[in-house]
Each structure stands twice: as C-alpha cells, then as structure tokens.
Amino acid sequence: MLTEKFGPAYGGDVAHTSGVHALVRRVHEERVLAILRERGGLSRAQIAVRAGLSRTTLSEITGGLLARGAIVVVNTDARRRVGSGRPAELLALDPHAGQYLGVDLQHARVRVVVADATHEIIAGGQAAYPEGTGRTGRPAVAFDLIDRIAAESGINFQALQGVGVGVVGPDADGSRRQVTAAFAQRFAVPVVVDNNTRFAALAEAVADGTDPRDLVYIRLSDGIGGGVVVGGRLVAGGRGMAGEFGHIAVDPSGVPCRCGKRGCLETIASVPAVLRACGLATLGDLAQAGPAVHPVLDAVADAVGRVLAEAALILNPEQVVIAGNLATAAPRVVTRAASVVAAELTPVGGAGPTIRSARLGDDDGARGAIAALFRQTPLLTDYPSTIPAPGAGRSAT
C-alpha cells in the first residue's frame, strides 16, 4: 500500500529536480517515513532529532510529504505536554495507509487489537476459548474474533500490513511454526510470533513516549516471566529464553520448582506460591488482607528485588517494570522490591533505574505484538521474524 501510494510521487519529484539533489531528498523522505512508521505521531522537532536533519531541511521534506498526502497532521502534543508554550503539531502517516493486527493467544482467551498507520488503537476485543480448545485450535478462535471486530467496527483490513502474534511459553515443541503458518495463510501478510510476556515488555517500553533504550520487565503472575529490551530492541536470546527471571534460583534449599530445580523465584513469588504462604485462596483476599501478610509479602519483594538488582547490574537499564496480577493486588511488593534494587545499585554507581509498576492492562501482549511489527522497519531490521529452533529448553512461562 505504502509503495503504491508513495512510489509515483517520487518519480514526479525526480523528474523535476536535478539528479543528486533529488536522490538526497528521496533518502531523507524515506527516512522520515520509516521513523513515522516505527514511532507513530511525532512533532517536527522530534522527527528532526531522530532523522539527524536540520529544521530547515526537515521542513522542506515534510512540506512535500504533506502536500502529497503521504503524511498528515494528526493532532497536537497538548495531551502529553507538561510545561507551557504552544503545543506542537504531530505528523504521522496517513492513518488509512496501513492497519496492523496484534493478537495474544493467552492460556484462557485470545485478545486482539487493531492499530492504524499512526499507531492509534482503533479497535479491539477478546474471546474465551471454547471448552476443550487445544493449542492448535486457538488461531481459529482468533480468526472468528477478528471477523467479529471487523464487522462491528467496519474495518475491512484491505490495508493490512502485518500480524503480530503473542503465544504462551517457549517454543519447545515447534508450535510457533504452525501459528505463523496459520496466520500467514489467513491474511497473506508478514507474521511475527513471539512469547507474549516478551511482547508485553516491548509494549511497556513504548507505552508512555519516554522510549527507554534499555528496560527490564518482570511479570509476577501464575508463573513468572519477563523480557529484556536492550538498545531499543526486544532481545529474544539465542534460543528464545531471554528474560526467564522466574527460574533464577534464589533459595538453593527451597522447594522443588516445576522446571526441576529447587528454590526458583517462581516457587516464592508466583501468585500460587504467595497465596499458599499467606494461607489465602484468592488475590482478592490478598488485596483485602491486613498487616498479617506483610512478612510474607516483604520476603517475596526481597527475593524479587535481588533478582532484579542482579539483572540491573548486568544490563544497566533505564527502567525496571514490575507487572502481573500479584503486583496489582499487592503494590507493597513493587515498592519494597524497588527499594531493594536501589539499595543494591546506589553504592555501585549513582542513581539506579526508574522502577515502576506496569501501565498497561491485559491487552499488553497484543499491543506489544503490534509494536514489534512497527519496529520491523529498515531502521530496525534485525528483530527476529523467525523462531529459534525447537527443543530450546523446558522452562515454561
């Protein structure tokens, strides 16, 4: 779609401008378009910094793109502006120039979000798997949901540019290949498949416009998973296991973990482990519980904090995000883990990372799948679209 739209216009420009100048201009235009495809709406000043162009040159480039309708003024940055001053116009690709589907095949349900070329989420929904749906049946439930969303919101997906699909667990059995094939066959566009917790890490990294280059993400839920963003890129690792914080052993004499080792973080800080230690049945009970559970929560937070401090010493992230429904039900865990990380890092080298709870909700995996699609641009070409070989390990998240 994009090339159809932008292609002829370049030809026109080249015909009217002399050789080298036209070529340079075209390179600049492609760079600006690639930045907007990756980042959504940006002000001229933000584009100039990212493209390495002077304000004057950029003004000329965006003027041409605006005149051709390749990009549009979407709104102003008044929403995210903190100080005073006139809000800047935000420029973006024509919203109709592309659609992106983010799908999260979770344990119990599928979540779908749809974004346009400006990165605006324009539709979304969820559906529980019917009783007895196996892993191989999940894509079909997603297709039905996508059809329903399309019918309800009037989106026809004619400008679909790609599909990102989050799945649970590592690719131990090669099932991601089947998922990739199913979506590629259904939509005939590029498909990216990865672990949904890792996608959630990427979604948090791009959630608020601060755009940290380095971020560590941990999710405290029924299991414990995580993700690592290094240099602005989601790291899969050689065998797709980067960010498996749940199976770092924190107590060598602890209880057996489902992975076969003893005393993994997951045996202490997952939701079932915490509820068991507190003698409670549900997270609702935990959220209501008083000071009686604080000793358990503090021990949990200390273990989480030490693991995150080690990760931070290795990776030196700008942000650490503690997500998952344990963090939501017991914010005390986030606060105390943050102080543990700060205490471990401050003596080593000044200010540590910003440590925060997650900003996004249950659609974070689907949003991250779309963020991964946006990052598959000429500027960020090496995000893995192929999946590590099966048999990479037996850990499960």
**Is residue 257 part of the contact set for Zn ion (CB under 5 A)?**
yes
**Is residue 226 part of the contact set for Zn ion (CB under 5 A)?**
no
Residues 6+ apart with CB under 8 A from 262: 249, 251, 252, 253, 254, 255, 256
Q: Stretches 93-101, 102-110, 121-129, 247-255: which one binds Zn ion (CB under 5 A)?
A: 247-255
**Is residue 369 part of the contact set for Zn ion (CB under 5 A)?**
no
In the complex, what is the shortest distance from the CB of residue 248 to Zn ion, in angstroms, rounded to a whole number? Answer: 8
Q: Stretches 242-250, 275-283, 298-306, 362-370: which one binds Zn ion (CB under 5 A)?
A: 242-250
If one counts every other C-beta atom within 10 angstroms of the C-beta of residue 90, the result is 23
In the complex, what is the shortest distance from the CB of residue 241 to Zn ion, in angstroms, rounded to a whole number? Answer: 12
In the complex, what is the shortest distance from the CB of residue 218 to Zn ion, in angstroms, rounded to a whole number? Answer: 14
**Is residue 264 part of the contact set for Zn ion (CB under 5 A)?**
yes
In the complex, what is the shortest distance from the CB of residue 265 to Zn ion, in angstroms, rounded to a whole number? Answer: 8
Touching Zn ion, residues 98-127 (CB under 5 A): none
Q: Two tokens at 296?
A: 């358990």
In the complex, what is the shortest distance from the CB of residue 261 to Zn ion, in angstroms, rounded to a whole number? Answer: 5
In the complex, what is the shortest distance from the CB of residue 250 to Zn ion, in angstroms, rounded to a whole number? Answer: 10
Q: Stretches 159-167, 197-205, 239-247, 385-393: which one binds Zn ion (CB under 5 A)?
A: 239-247
In the complex, what is the shortest distance from the CB of residue 391 to Zn ion, in angstroms, rounded to a whole number? Answer: 18
User: Is 155 or 250 the residue whose CB approaches Zn ion more closely?
Assistant: 250
Q: Stretches 260-268, 290-298, 327-335, 340-348: which one binds Zn ion (CB under 5 A)?
A: 260-268
**Binding-site residue total for Zn ion (CB under 5 A)?**
5
Touching Zn ion, residues 280-339 (CB under 5 A): none
**Is residue 247 part of the contact set for Zn ion (CB under 5 A)?**
yes
Q: Stretches 20-28, 130-138, 245-253, 373-381: which one binds Zn ion (CB under 5 A)?
A: 245-253
Distance CA 34, CA 380 (A): 10
- Sign of the Cα pseudo-torsion (389, 217, 364, 87, in order): negative
**Is residue 51 part of the contact set for Zn ion (CB under 5 A)?**
no
**Is residue 259 part of the contact set for Zn ion (CB under 5 A)?**
yes
- In the complex, the residues that contact Zn ion under the rule CB under 5 A are 247, 257, 259, 261, 264
